[in-house]
Structures are given as C-alpha cells and as structure tokens.
C-alpha cells in the first residue's frame, strides 16, 4: 500500500489570519446589507440599514489599510511580494496553463486575483467614503464632498460595478478552495485558520506529517 508523508510549514501568521477573517466577514456583511436593502421600502428601516452599511464599511477600510501595512512590514508570507508573480501570470495567459507549481505561501496564480481584489477594495473604500459624504453627510470625506451632490454618479457607478465583481470573486474563491480540497492530496483551506501548509513527500512508509522543515518564515 502506498502511504504518503507530509511535512508542514507555518506560512500564515496570526495577524494575517485575523485580518483575512475580519475583511472576509466585513465583505459578506456589506453584501448582506445590500440584499436586505432590496427588501425595504424607502423609510426608517432603509436609512438604518445604510448606516449599518457605512459603519461596517469603516471596519473594512481599517481592515484594508491594516492588510496593506502588514503587506509591507509583516513576515515573508504576509508580504505583498509573496503575491507578485508576473512571469507565472504571463505564462498562464500565453500557454493557457492554469497549473500552479505547489509552493509554501500564496498560490502563484490565485495571487493575481488577490492583487486585483485589493485594488478593487481600495476603489470600494474611496467611492464608499465618497457616497457616505455625498448621500448621508457622514465620514471623513464630508468636509470635501458633503455639499457636492453632483458627484453621486461618479462614486456610485464604480461602487455598484465592483460589487458584482467581488461577489464573483467570493464564489470562485470558495469553489476553488473546495476543488483543491477534493483534488489535491494536501489540505489548503485550513491554512488560513491554522497557519500551516503541507507538502507531500512521495513513496514513504508512514502517513503523518514530519515536523522537520517547520519554520516560522
Ligand atoms: C467572503 C469570504 C472571503 C474573502 C473575501 C476572502 C478573501 C481572500 C483574500 C483577499 C486572500 C488573499 C490573501 C491575503 O490577503 O494574504 C485570500 C486567501 C486565502 N483565503 Fe480567503 N477569503 C474568504 C473566505 C475564505 C474562507 C471561508 C477560507 C477557508 C477557510 C479562505 C481561505 C483562504 C486561503 C487558504 C487563502 C490562501 C490561499 C493561497 O494559498 O493562495 N478564505 N482570501
Ligand atoms: C466590499 C465592500 C462593499 C460592497 C460590496 C458595497 C456594496 C454597495 C452597493 C451594491 C451599493 C448600492 C449602490 C447603488 O446605489 O447602486 C452600495 C452603496 C453604498 N455604499 Fe457600499 N459597498 C462596500 C463598501 C463600502 C464602504 C467601505 C463604504 C463606506 C464606508 C460604503 C458606503 C456606501 C454608501 C454610503 C452607499 C450609498 C447608500 C445610499 O444609496 O444611500 N460601502 N454599496
């Protein structure tokens, strides 16, 4: 019987994991307020819901800024450079090669999507803060845009468009994690919970991971 040996490495530090959880929950919560807003007619309920959306939006802004700062000052696998693989993306486009080489750290292909998501989240934060000022007289942009209602469309259109793109990302991200879980011999989804990633060593006779090779890189 062929058995498989794993060795594991700590890749995602606790700060990165907490930020991932924080941003993931904030994004889902923001989407839920949008779905609920469609059930409300104009009135007190809808106004309250938008206020909830704005306050959760502030929480997301804090999460995005924290992630970007941690991407510069954090450990190796939290750095934005761990997600920067232009040669792999170019190869994927040229040869339609969607097989990413296994490695410790962020998946090299998925990283392209993660960077796009952070860019979209920055636009969401700026346009969301703009809408909070223009439509509700709230937030840090209120001093600049509070009396400029004509800016509404400028903020609203990208905000709505990116909302659909982010819903697409969340669905594909979860589907990809489930797919890897079933297809690969190594677990992946739990790495954002426990911090550990696993690598298979072929043709060994025991079946548990080996602790050597562990590092806190
Ligand atoms: C709506 C929810 C979610 C959003 C918006 C989201 C977003 C992201 C983003 C932006 C990254 C890039 C990582 C980084 O910042 O360093 C990422 C990576 C990752 N996420 Fe999520 N995530 C969500 C849910 C989940 C769930 C439920 C799991 C499973 C526990 C998960 C597991 C992972 C893993 C394992 C990675 C790293 C994958 C790799 O090796 O490239 N995510 N996620
Ligand atoms: C992932 C993050 C976000 C998602 C998915 C999201 C989604 C949406 C959507 C779909 C709308 C409706 C647009 C329309 O009227 O057509 C909206 C409106 C709005 N969002 Fe966001 N948003 C996010 C982040 C933020 C942030 C960070 C803020 C600010 C702190 C914010 C503040 C607002 C405001 C003020 C409105 C207008 C409410 C109104 O019409 O009275 N959003 N958002």
- The full set of domain ranges for the chain reads 3-210
Q: How far is the CA of 53 from the centre of ligand 2 (A)?
A: 7
pLDDT of 45: 84
pLDDT of 1: 62
Instruction: Please report which ligand is nearest the Cα atom of 54.
Output: 2
Q: How far is the CA of 156 from the centre of ligand 1 (A)?
A: 27
pLDDT of 201: 77
Closest CA to 23 of 61, 75, 74: 61
Max distance between CA atoms of the chain, in angstroms, equals 73
Instruction: Please report which ligand is nearest the Cα atom of 15.
Output: 1
The Cα–Cα gap between 112 and 83 comes to: 7
Query: Which backbone phi and psi does 41 adopt, to 5 degrees?
Result: -80, 170
Q: How far is the CA of 174 from the centre of ligand 2 (A)?
A: 23
The Cα–Cα gap between 137 and 143 comes to: 9
pLDDT of 25: 98
pLDDT of 205: 47
Domain 3-210 has CATH 1.20.950.20: yes
Is the distance from the beta carbon of residue 170 to the nearest atom of ligand 1 less than 6 Å?
A: yes
Q: What is the pTM (predicted TM-score) of this model?
A: 0.90
Note down pLDDT in tens along the chain; length 217 residues.
667 788 889 999 999 999 999 999 999 999 999 999 888 777 778 889 999 999 999 999 999 999 999 999 999 999 999 999 999 999 999 998 888 888 999 999 999 999 999 999 999 999 999 999 999 999 999 999 989 999 999 999 999 999 999 999 999 999 999 998 888 777 889 999 999 999 887 655 444 455 544 443 3
pLDDT of 38: 83
Q: How far is the CA of 130 from the centre of ligand 2 (A)?
A: 10
The Cα–Cα gap between 129 and 2 comes to: 57
pLDDT of 126: 98
Atom 3 of ligand 1: nearest residue by CA position: 24
Atom 30 of ligand 2: nearest residue by CA position: 57
pLDDT of 2: 66
């Amino acid at each position: 019987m062929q058995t498989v040996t794993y060795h594991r490495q700590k890749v995602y530090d606790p700060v990165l994991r907490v930020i991932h959880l924080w941003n993931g929950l904030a994004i889902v919560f923001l989407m839920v307020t949008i779905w609920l807003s469609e059930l409300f007619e104009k009135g007190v309920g809808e106004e309250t819901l938008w206020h909830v959306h704005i306050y959760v939006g502030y929480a997301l802004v804090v999460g995005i800024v924290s992630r970007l700062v941690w991407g510069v000052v954090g450990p190796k696998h939290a750095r934005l450079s761990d997600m920067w693989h232009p040669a792999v993306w170019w190869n994927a486009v040229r040869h339609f090669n969607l097989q990413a080489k296994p490695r410790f750290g962020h998946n090299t292909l998925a990283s392209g999507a993660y960077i796009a998501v952070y860019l979209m989240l920055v636009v969401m934060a700026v346009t969301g803060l703009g809408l909070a000022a223009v439509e509700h007289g709230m937030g840090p942009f209120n001093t600049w845009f509070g009396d400029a209602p004509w800016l509404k469309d400028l903020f609203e259109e990208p905000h709505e468009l990116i909302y659909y793109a982010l819903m697409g990302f969340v669905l594909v991200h979860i589907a990809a994690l489930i797919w890897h879980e079933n297809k690969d011999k190594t677990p992946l989804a739990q790495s954002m919970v426990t911090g550990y990633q696993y690598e298979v060593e072929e043709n060994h006779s025991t079946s548990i991971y080996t602790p050597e090779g562990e590092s806190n890189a």
